[in-house]
């Protein structure tokens, strides 16, 4: 019970060198690929799921926005696999690091905004000043809309970090309580262990949902700028 709650969020090292890069590169290796003309059931299900996800996110985009489809599908697969692997015991979850989530959010957000300013300058600038705004409120609204625009990548990164970190901390606390109660009261241990199993199922759902939400918000930012 004296174990540091945040020990699992410390970036691991190998011989004093950071191993985060290797961990980040590991999830794509788990995605199965096929070299045959006829795919097996796993590959078929994977392709169906990717097609369904990309269709749902790309329906609202025009031709220019659909050029991002490969990047967005790769993003949701990477975040989902990383989150799911982080639920394994004694594993490290890169998406609990705010710096990594910012490194994903800022370039994607900046690319969407720059595309908007290059292709639709008037529409991009119109977001800073809603139609019909009273003249005295114009400076204040421009400042508020500018802050709202600049805070979007931070909101993306913080949302993903907070949800994944909170789930891992809760699982750690309930797991520690289960281990402590196992030598004191067996019926209470069974109840807490049942809660832990239900929480684990919930965290699997959260891992997938957060990957979808992150990618969907990036897709919405892209839609607003194309």
Note the helical H segments in the chain. Answer: 20-25, 41-58, 69-85, 98-119, 121-126, 138-150, 152-181, 186-224
pLDDT for the residue 166: 87
Q: Which residues pair with 13 in a beta bridge?
A: 18
What's the rounded Cα separation, in Å, for the pair 73 and 58? Answer: 10
Query: For residue range 136-192, what is the model confidence (pLDDT) as tens digits?
Result: 777 787 788 788 888 988 999 999 999 988 888 888 888 888 888 877 878 888 888
3-state DSSP call for residue 14?
strand
Using a cut of 0.75, tell me whether the model's pTM lies above it: yes
Query: What confidence category does residue 7 fall into, taking pLDDT thresholds of 50, 70 and 90?
Result: low
Do residues 65 and 223 touch, judged by C-beta distance below 8 A?
Answer: yes
CB 195 within 8 A of CB 174: yes
Q: Tell me whether residue 122 is exposed, middle or buried, using C-beta atoms within 10 angstroms of its C-beta: 0 to 12, 13 to 18, 19 or more.
A: exposed
């Amino acid at each position: 019970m004296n174990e540091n709650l945040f020990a699992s969020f410390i970036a691991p090292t190998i011989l004093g060198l950071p191993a985060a890069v290797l961990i980040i590169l590991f999830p794509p290796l788990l995605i199965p690929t096929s070299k045959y003309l006829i795919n097996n059931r796993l590959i078929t299900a994977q392709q169906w799921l990717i097609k369904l996800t990309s269709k749902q996110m790309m329906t609202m985009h025009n031709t220019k926005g659909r050029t991002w489809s490969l990047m967005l599908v790769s993003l949701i697969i990477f975040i989902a696999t990383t989150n799911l692997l982080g639920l394994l015991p004694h594993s490290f979850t890169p998406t609990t690091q705010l710096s990594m989530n910012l490194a994903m959010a800022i370039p994607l957000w900046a690319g969407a905004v720059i595309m908007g300013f290059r292709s639709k300058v008037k529409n991009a600038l119109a977001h800073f000043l809603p139609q019909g705004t009273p003249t005295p409120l114009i400076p204040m609204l421009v400042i508020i809309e500018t802050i709202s625009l600049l805070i979007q990548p931070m909101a993306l990164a913080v949302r993903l970090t907070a949800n994944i970190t909170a789930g891992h901390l809760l699982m750690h606390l309930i797991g520690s309580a289960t281990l402590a109660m196992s030598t004191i009261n067996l019926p209470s241990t069974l109840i807490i262990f049942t809660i832990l199993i239900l929480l684990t199922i919930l965290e699997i759902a959260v891992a997938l949902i957060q990957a979808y939400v992150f990618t969907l918000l990036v897709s919405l930012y892209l839609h607003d700028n194309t």
